């Protein structure tokens, strides 16, 4: 089984990819999307989205990173794919799932799921534009309004030569509202002769098992679950292999959050504060200590203040200086 760390704009950047892949269990990452309009972007845009391109397109712990592109212009999607490929990307992923209004009004993301022919044309042109050795993968939802075009879209993506397909098991209309409809993937998967990756609402090893059973997919992609439960991938793999697993305690997680806040210190303080707080909104789902701390820091606008609050050896943080250094 392979576990893929989901692309998540504004939170799954290279610092978070590094942190989570160091903990382990991930076989691949995908960058936040790079928006493609009617231009061929300069390399610096791709290096910014994927600093790992400077290091063989791998995280420091050696996990390959694919670069994700989003856009609706066949020609420019292909031309930018060629640039990314020349920069040494381990793979190129195409975003056909983003529900954002700003993105959709600029003709990219899930809005394209209303037009299976254009999805096909984009995948085919991107596939043709890069070396066959470089994977070109697509990430879709079940559809835009409903799932009626799902099979057409998926078959078109396979026909266009995609290496793999990842399906977020919801329509754009569903947004992020639970549940995820894993069984819908299972209905179409037997017709698709490329690896299919199931995504959506996997928060635990039990969810992973259910997603696999209902979708018929062995491989899974983890997004919000990976942020709320940083060792989720290890836990899923342990359960898959029948090995007992004890999740990392808050005392192990908190220093990781503090280190992240330090790494972010070079960035604009407000941005860095927002980034750390966003991670807390996920962590508090798994750790009661994170909820308590979040209530304390949620109005802070400077990452250094948040860091100082996290380092106080009090009941608030559950962080005991003597025991954990
Ligand atoms: C804050 C946020 C940002 C996201 N950014 C992207 C993105 O850049 N590209 C993409 O394909 N999907 C993006 N997604 C969708 C996720 O990759 C994933 O498909 C979705 O969250 C469902 O998986 P999950 O339930 O495991 O989180 C984003 C989701 C969230 C919540």
Decide: 98 in ligand 1 pocket, CB within 6 A.
Answer: yes
Predicted confidence pLDDT, tens digits, the chain (325 residues): 999 999 999 999 999 999 999 999 999 999 999 999 999 999 999 999 999 999 999 999 999 999 999 999 999 999 999 999 999 999 999 999 988 766 655 688 989 999 999 999 999 999 999 999 999 999 999 999 999 999 999 999 999 999 999 999 999 999 999 999 999 999 999 999 999 999 999 999 999 999 999 999 999 999 999 999 999 999 999 999 999 999 999 999 999 998 888 877 677 777 888 999 999 999 999 999 999 999 999 999 888 888 889 888 665 555 544 443 3
Could you give the 3-state DSSP secondary structure of residue 24? coil
CB 114 within 8 A of CB 149: yes
First to last CA, the chain: 37
Going from the Cα of 162 to the center of ligand 1, the distance in angstroms, rounded, reads 20
Copy the structure tokens of residue 128. Answer: 């043709």
CB 141 within 8 A of CB 96: yes
Going from the Cα of 8 to the center of ligand 1, the distance in angstroms, rounded, reads 5
CATH number for region 3-240: 3.20.20.70
pLDDT in tens, 5-57: 999 999 999 999 999 999 999 999 999 999 999 999 999 999 999 999 999 99
Can you give the C-alpha Rg of the chain in angstroms? 20
Decide: 172 in ligand 1 pocket, CB within 6 A.
Answer: no
Q: Which residue has the tokens 């109005």?
A: 299
Q: Atom 14 of ligand 1 has which residue's CA nearest to it?
A: 8
Going from the Cα of 7 to the center of ligand 1, the distance in angstroms, rounded, reads 6
- Alpha-carbon distance values, 72 to 42, 104, 122, 139, 204 (Å): 19, 9, 7, 14, 35
d(CA 13, CA 237): 24
**Which of 7, 166, 226, 279, when mutated, tests ligand 1's pocket best, judged by the most ligand atoms within 8 Å of its CB?**
7
Counting from 1 in the atom list of ligand 1, the atom nearest the Cα of 168 is 19
- Nearest to 227, CA basis, from 286, 307, 303: 286
Decide: 224 in ligand 1 pocket, CB within 6 A.
Answer: yes
d(CA 129, CA 87): 14
**Residue 315, Cβ density class (10 Å: 0-12 exposed, 13-18 middle, ≥19 buried):** exposed
Please name the CATH architecture into which domain 250-324 falls: Up-down Bundle (1.20)
- Nearest to 315, CA basis, from 289, 285, 286: 289
Decide: 201 in ligand 1 pocket, CB within 6 A.
Answer: yes
Decide: 68 in ligand 1 pocket, CB within 6 A.
Answer: yes
Counting from 1 in the atom list of ligand 1, the atom nearest the Cα of 224 is 27
Copy the structure tokens of residue 316. Answer: 């608030």
d(CA 168, CA 176): 10
> Kindly report the CA angle at 74 between 72 and 75, in degrees rounded to 5?
130
Is 68 annotated to bind a ligand? Reply is yes
**Residue 175, Cβ density class (10 Å: 0-12 exposed, 13-18 middle, ≥19 buried):** exposed
Going from the Cα of 77 to the center of ligand 1, the distance in angstroms, rounded, reads 20
Domain ranges of the chain: 3-240, 250-324
- Nearest to 162, CA basis, from 125, 127, 113, 116: 127
- Nearest to 160, CA basis, from 220, 218, 118, 201: 118
Q: Which residues contact 288 (CB under 8 A, 6 or more apart)?
A: none
User: Is 98 known to be catalytic?
Assistant: yes
d(CA 138, CA 81): 13
């Amino acid at each position: 089984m392979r576990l893929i760390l989901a692309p998540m704009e504004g939170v799954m950047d290279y610092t978070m990819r590094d942190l989570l892949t160091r903990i382990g269990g991930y076989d691949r990452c995908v960058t936040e999307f790079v928006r493609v309009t009617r231009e061929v972007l300069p390399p610096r845009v791709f290096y910014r989205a994927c600093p790992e391109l400077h290091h063989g397109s791998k995280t420091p712990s050696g996990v390959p990173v694919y670069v994700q592109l989003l856009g609706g212009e066949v020609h420019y999607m292909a031309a930018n794919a060629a640039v990314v490929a020349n920069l040494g990307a381990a793979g190129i992923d195409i975003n056909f799932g983003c529900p954002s209004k700003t993105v959709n009004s600029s003709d990219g993301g899930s809005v394209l799921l209303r037009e299976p022919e254009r999805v096909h044309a984009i995948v085919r042109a991107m596939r043709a534009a890069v070396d066959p050795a470089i994977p070109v993968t697509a990430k879709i939802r079940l559809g835009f309004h409903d799932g009626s075009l799902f099979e057409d879209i998926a078959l078109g993506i396979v026909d266009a030569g995609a290496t793999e397909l990842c399906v977020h098991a919801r329509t754009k209309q569903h947004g992020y509202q639970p549940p995820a409809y894993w069984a819908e993937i299972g209905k179409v998967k037997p017709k698709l002769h490329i690896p299919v990756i199931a995504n959506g609402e996997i928060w635990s090893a039990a969810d992973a098992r259910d997603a696999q059973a209902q979708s018929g997919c062995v491989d899974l992609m983890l997004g919000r679950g990976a942020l709320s439960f940083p060792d989720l991938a290890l836990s899923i793999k342990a359960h898959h292999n029948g090995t007992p697993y004890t999740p990392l305690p808050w005392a192990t997680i908190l220093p990781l959050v503090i280190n992240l806040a330090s790494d972010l210190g070079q960035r604009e303080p407000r941005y860095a504060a927002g980034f750390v707080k966003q991670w807390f909104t996920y962590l508090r789902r798994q750790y009661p200590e994170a909820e308590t701390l979040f209530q304390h820091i949620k109005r802070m606008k400077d990452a250094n203040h948040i860091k100082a609050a996290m380092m106080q050896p009090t009941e608030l943080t559950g962080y005991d200086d003597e025991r954990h250094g």
